[in-house]
Amino acid sequence: MATTLVLFLFALVLFIVMGIPIAFSLLACAVALMFHMGEFDPQIVAQRLVAGGANFSLMAIPFFILAGEVMNAGGLSQRIVDLPLKLFGHVRGGLGYVAIVATVIMASLSGSAVADTAAIGAILIPMMRQAGYPILTSAGLVAAGGIIAPIIPPSMPFIIFGVTGNVSIFRLFMGGIVPGLIMGAGLMITWYFHNKRLDMRLQARASWPEVWKSTVSSLWALALPVIIIGGFRIGVFTATEAGAVAASYAILVGFLVYRELKPGAFYEVLVNTVKTVGVVMFLVATANVSAYLMALAELPNAVAELFGPLIESPRLLMLTIMLFTLFVGMVMDLSPAILILVPVLMPLVRRAGIDETYFGILFTLNLCIGLITPPVGNVLNVITGIARIKFDEAARGVFPYLCAHIVVLAILVAWPNLTIVPMRFMVGR
């Protein structure tokens, strides 16, 4: 069993180092396992590929991706930024607070760290540069705010985690609200102490008529998270139905209310959505093949034996897994890490008696931190293009906020009830 585990890990690392895309690397690892066990059967590979994408809950992913694309093209994102800009833009370091508030609100709309960072960064980074904000600090703050998106519902990583680990997506969504807000509060505190040392020009205070106009204009956009979360809470719709509602609502508002979504732009939105969905769904399908072969080879049992001495101490086990996940997140993107690790870790988590929803939230939060850490850092790559800075400069700029997120993670590990109690309250049990 140990030999099989070593073979799987060696094959995975080898294929990734060779530059083979993660989806094909997972498929190749599955085939390598089949040969190792002497049970190679192309028909099984085909069947598991089809079964991997045939889960109804995964239908939520294309809907939420479409909703996020429509919001950026249809003017909803711009109005979400405009309201906090009118409210806080005039205070010292106001654009930083605007960035944090905007990323938290946007997180409740799209669920994608890359999309939120791109949308907020494209609007605020030029404004912060013009106002004399240090560009590295500004870029780092927006990037750190962007990774809140996969924690506050709707969250695509939570959907993938729920499907892969057989965990309630509804509970994950409701449980992610408070940790996401705590992450935003951590950034607020860090920015408060950081911007005291900076010399920045203050923005002009918006008049009350301007604030009122911005509030009225943004109501259509702000109503979307209320509809999604409220609908979940009272049981009106499932995650998949919520995605359909979000996409339909965003299209109607973009076309009929704000009238910024034009037919040509909508075509581009659909093309971008299909491209993104194709990548995500193929990754999920190939991961299902690997998960099936890992279960067949009893790899979860091998991992359980490795962590066996820690099962009697759930908190120590949780800390160990979090440290391991933090390292994995630095070298692997969010979705592949979930698809690879969850089938292996969930049996261990359940044996230790750790709340599976709590684990899923912290596990995802941990991997989100990897989005702003070298050497991979997909969100850092996005912000470097928007801010026109080098990757190492972005890494320096994000460092204080990266530390803030790690502190939040440590607090949530040390005090699980900060996550579990609000989650149980919001799900009603």
Encode pLDDT of 325-344 as tens digits: 888 888 777 888 888 888 88
CA–CA distances in Å: residue 425 to residues 173, 321, 329, 357 = 13, 27, 30, 14
Per-residue confidence (pLDDT) for residue 1, from 0 to 100: 54
Per-residue confidence (pLDDT) for residue 54, from 0 to 100: 75
Per-residue confidence (pLDDT) for residue 96, from 0 to 100: 87
The region of weakest confidence among 78-87, 96-105, 164-173, 346-355 is: 78-87
Tokens of 168: 């309630």
Confidence of residue 182 (pLDDT cuts 50, 70, 90): very high
Across the range 166-189, mean pLDDT stands at 92
pLDDT in tens, 107-155: 887 778 888 888 888 888 888 888 788 889 999 999 999 999 899 988 8
pLDDT at residue 178 is higher than 80: yes
Per-residue confidence (pLDDT) for residue 14, from 0 to 100: 80
pLDDT in tens, 203-218: 677 788 888 888 888 8
Confidence of residue 200 (pLDDT cuts 50, 70, 90): low
Residues 72, 304: Cα–Cα separation, whole Å: 44
pLDDT in tens, 11-56: 777 877 787 777 788 788 888 878 877 777 788 788 888 877 777 7
Per-residue confidence (pLDDT) for residue 398, from 0 to 100: 92
Q: In the chain, what percentage of residues exceed pLDDT 90? A: 21
Q: Are 365 and 395 in contact (CB under 8 A)?
A: no
CA–CA distances in Å: residue 301 to residues 32, 258, 290, 297, 345 = 19, 55, 15, 9, 10
Per-residue confidence (pLDDT) for residue 366, from 0 to 100: 94
pLDDT in tens, 403-425: 999 999 999 999 999 999 999 88
pLDDT at residue 365 is higher than 90: yes
| Domain range annotation of the chain | 2-427
Residues 53, 31: Cα–Cα separation, whole Å: 19
Per-residue confidence (pLDDT) for residue 38, from 0 to 100: 74
Q: What is the pTM of this model?
A: 0.86
Question: Of 180 and 7, which is predicted with more confidence?
Answer: 180
